[in-house]
Structure 1
Amino acid sequence: MFGKLKASLGIGAAKVDTILNSMSVFQGETLRGTVHIQGGDVEQQIDAINLKLCTEVKVESENGASYQDFVIGTLKAVQPFVIQPNETKQVPFELKLDDETPITALNAYKNQCHVWLETTLDIDFAVDPSDRDHVEVKPLGCAAKVITAIEQAGFGMVKADVEKGYLRGNTFSSRSGFYQEIEFRNNGFINKKEIELSFILNGNTMHCLAEVDRSFGGRGDQYISFDLPVNASDDQVRSAVSRILSI
């Protein structure tokens, strides 16, 4: 009885450790790994293994900006089971990234984009053991080409973050409840310009929305959206990016 009481407080209880096959994936790919469970000092019932793919979103309000965790996707790995003292179990899993999962592999001066997988054992009347693993999300080829083309035009990537809300372009709307903004600035004096770029992956299509702010000229913020196939050619990317740069 004393052992069960200690386990309910997290002392000598089962432990969980998630091992990913790869900590680095591309947009839209599938995370694969194994949940390792080590039994504690007493027998315990595990009601579920819950996996949550999360990011951190910026929330704007009258009181300023704050940050909160946002669950992108979930997976319940197994049905209830009992783990004996010191027993080990391994449970493989697969979790496809939501298409709108933010890109984290960005060379921004201030990169505030984070994605992680949180694993929790659901145990009645106990402190639920948990594990957190950060995931690097790399841009697909067409998104990487767009970023490179903007940088080659003299713009530096200064900031990237994830904001709560929705985006709408001419041919698309976001669905997840958050969107990523990647901010670029050039060093021009007369033609100083800032570009905020967002990607929305949808299957084999990469939707893009760009907000262009010119410090001089008095034209205010202007928006342009376009679509690219995920296997877009260099010419297709150059043509799309030229529309952004011409504003």
Structure 2
Amino acid sequence: MATICRLVGARGASGEDERGGLSVGLQARVEVVRGGEEVGRDVEFARLRLGGAFEVRAGAVHTVPFGLEIPWETPVTTFLGRPVRGMGVGVTTELAIARAVDSSDLDPVQVHPLPAQQAVLDAFERLGFRFESAGLAQGRIHGTRQRLPFHQQIEFSAPPQYRGLSEVELSFVADDREMDVVLATGRKPGPFGEGSDTYRSFTVGLRDFGGTDWAGCLNQWLAEVGGRRNWL
């Protein structure tokens, strides 16, 4: 579990001195289905109160150092050395003064893949899959160790050698020892239509993943699925 360490500042108003409390949190922009449409909703998934109340003097600047632990399930926001578009994950700052709350804008954070996650992502790249998009969906993935009320979905388009396959959707659900890797395949348009065809979930140790040929494992699974469904 990583930790964000930084300084947060608060500026007093021009009026009388006040007693205030400062807290920080982690927030994500999650897609929620309402009335058949997807809408974005801000979901806070971690919060830390920075000490007790303190005096906020008029016109003064107060700086408070803090460290905020990042949950293992926090979505990846940086992939292949670039920020992932659409990943609205960041730190919020909240200053409560005299029953009023002043919330700052979201300060984005960079969350890199865990080494075990990177190994799986690298396997997709070696097989020729192309990263397309990523998003956060409300809801839980059945049979996983998920605790947060949302999960990340990473979508790859399939290379030509998987001729009946259009895409693979990937989700990671990690804790301090292992992670669940969830895969869903999507078929190309054809006589059976298109859509999600097959799901698979397997567990990867965060410390013993290095001895596995993940590209070979993924290729074997896709070949088996394609053979059974007669679309590869």
Is 1:144 aligned to residue 118 of structure 2?
A: yes
Counterpart for residue 180 of structure 1? 152
Q: Are residue 103 (structure 1) and residue 76 (structure 2) matched?
A: yes
Deviations 1:22-55 (A, max 9, x none): xxxxxx3111112223333234324311212001
Give how far 1:184 is off.
Answer: 0.7
Unaligned runs of 5+ in 1: 1-27
Q: CA deviation at 1:112?
A: 1.7
Alpha carbons of structure 1 residues 55 and 129: separation in structure 2 relative to 1, 3 Å: closer
RMSD: 2.5
Partner of residue 237, structure 1: 214
Question: Partners of 2:159 and 2:217 in 1: how far apart?
Answer: 22
* Contact persistence 1:209–1:226 (CA under 8 A): yes
Q: What is the rounded CA distance, in whole Å, between the counterparts of 2:221 and 2:51 in structure 1?
A: 48
Give per-residue Cα distances to partners, 1:190-241, cap 9 Å, x unaligned: 3333110000111121211001123268596111111111131152534543
CA distance in structure 2 between the partners assigned to 1:109 and 1:244 by the alignment? 29
User: 180-189 or 113-122, which moves further after superposition?
Assistant: 180-189
Matched residue type, 1:196: E
Matched ranges for 1:39-188 at <5 A: 39-106=12-79, 111-124=85-98, 126=100, 128=102, 130-169=104-143, 172-188=144-160
Between the aligned residues of both structures, percent identity stands at 27
- Cα distance in 2 for partners of 1:78, 1:237 equals 45
Aligned equivalents of 1:163, 1:131: Cα separation in 2: 22
Name the residue aligned to 2:165.
192
TM-score, length of structure 2 as denominator length: 0.83
| Equivalences, count | 218
After the TM superposition, which parts of structure 1 deviate over 6 Å for at least 4 consecutive aligned residues?
none
Separation (CA, whole Å) in 1 of partners of 2:222 and 2:191? 15
Provide the secondary structure at the position in 2 that maps to 1:78: coil
Q: What's the offset of the Cα at 1:129?
A: 5.4
- Whichever residue aligns with residue 229 of structure 1, its letter is G
Moved more, 109-118 or 193-202: 109-118
CA–CA distance in structure 1, aligned partners of residues 103 and 31 of structure 2:
28
Aligned pair in 2 of structure 1 residues 63, 245: CA closer, same or farther (>3 Å)?
closer
Q: In the TM superposition, what whole-angstrom CA distance separates every residue of 1:83-136 from its partner, at most 9, and x where no partner exists?
A: 223333322211111121111113599732221101011011556252431101
Unmatched 5+ residue regions in structure 2?
A: 226-232
Question: What secondary structure sits across from 2:92 in the alignment?
Answer: strand
| Secondary structure of residue in 1 paired with 2:77 | coil
